[in-house]
């Protein structure tokens, strides 16, 4: 799929996990931007491949360490990127238990580094209020594309519960705008509280997304 300039810039922003405004990249011609996008993607892939054996060993070691100690080690010594790679090789239930001990901002960073599939698998098993706080934190930092990918993969039940905890139609609208699975969000919209649904509809309308007509 060919990405627009805005799409490439958003992917670069998420790959680098930065809150900085990368709008200046729009001044680059599309060919140059495509090269930068590809180089960053390839570099991250090469790094992950080289480090896989280490992450696998770390995942096994978590079975013998209490969760609160893992959380302490993570906050003080391990970057969110490392944790995101380790959970790939962990049982989702075990990863969800560790997540309860992590700070909300830290978990948000982990979610950005981890694949949407892994994040959704763990998110489906976590307490809804914790996941909702992570979603709110990422939304405040404008990582809507990543949230859209996650929303496409979360179970309907979990997503609806998160929406009810958020109580913010604007956030829901921004996430819906980034989702690919339109049937899913329309289906869930029918079950949203009226105020959240109307707020999401209004946000979609302001973004020029025709999906609002189905809310």
Q: What is the pLDDT of residues 98-144, one digit of tens each?
A: 998 999 999 999 998 888 899 999 999 999 999 999 999 999 988 99
The b-or-e profile of 100-110 (16+ CB within 10 A means b, else e) is: ebbeeebbbbb
Could you give the CA distance from residue 96 to residue 79 in angstroms, rounded to a whole number? 18
State mean pLDDT over 151-174.
96
Q: Are 156 and 192 in contact (CB under 8 A)?
A: no
How far, rounded to the nearest angstrom, does the alpha carbon of residue 83 sit from its chain's CA centroid? 14
What is the distance between the alpha carbons of residues 188 and 62, in angstroms, rounded to a whole number? 36
Pick the residue with more confidence: 109 or 54?
109
| pLDDT score for 9 | 83
Torsion 60-61-63-68 (CA) sign: negative
Q: What is the mean pLDDT of the chain?
A: 90
Instruction: Tell me the CA distances in angstroms from 41 to 58, 97, 168, 179, 194, one per residue in order.
Output: 24, 30, 33, 22, 41
As a dihedral over the C-alpha atoms of residue 53, residue 58, residue 60, residue 64, rounded to 10 degrees, the angle is: 160
Evaluate if residue 147 carries a pLDDT over 80: yes
pLDDT at 53 over 70: yes
Domain boundaries, the chain: 1-126, 128-215
What's the pLDDT tens digit per position in 58-105?
A: 888 888 888 888 888 889 888 898 899 899 999 999 999 999 899 999
Q: What is the DSSP letter of 149?
A: H
Which pLDDT score, from 0 to 100, does residue 135 have?
A: 95
pLDDT higher than threshold 80 for residue 44: no
pLDDT of residue 1: 55
Residue ranges of the alpha helices (H) in 64-115?
Answer: 67-77, 80-86, 92-99, 104-113
- Write down the residue that tokens 């992570």 correspond to: 134
Tokens of 111: 């979610």
- Residue 26 pLDDT exceeds 80: yes
pTM of the full structure: 0.73
């Amino acid at each position: 799929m060919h990405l627009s300039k805005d799409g490439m810039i958003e992917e670069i922003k998420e790959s680098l996990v930065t809150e900085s405004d990368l709008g200046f990249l729009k001044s680059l011609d599309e060919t140059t931007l495509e090269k930068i996008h590809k180089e960053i993607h390839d570099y991250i892939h090469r790094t992950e491949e080289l480090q896989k054996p280490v992450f696998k060993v770390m995942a096994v070691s978590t079975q013998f360490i209490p969760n609160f100690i893992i959380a302490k080690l993570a906050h003080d010594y391990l970057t969110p990127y490392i944790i995101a790679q380790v959970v790939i090789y962990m049982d989702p239930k075990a990863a969800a238990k560790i997540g309860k001990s992590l700070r909300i901002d830290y978990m948000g960073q982990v979610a950005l580094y981890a694949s949407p599939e892994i994040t959704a698998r763990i998110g489906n098993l976590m307490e809804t209020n914790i996941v909702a706080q992570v979603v709110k934190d990422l939304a405040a930092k404008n990582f809507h594309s990543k949230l859209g990918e996650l929303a496409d993969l979360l179970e309907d039940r979990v997503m609806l519960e998160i929406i009810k905890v958020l109580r913010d139609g604007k956030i829901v609208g921004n996430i819906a705008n980034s989702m690919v699975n339109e049937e899913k969000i329309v289906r869930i919209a029918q079950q949203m509280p009226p105020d959240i649904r109307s707020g999401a509809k209004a946000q979609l309308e302001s973004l020029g997304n025709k999906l609002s007509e189905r809310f």
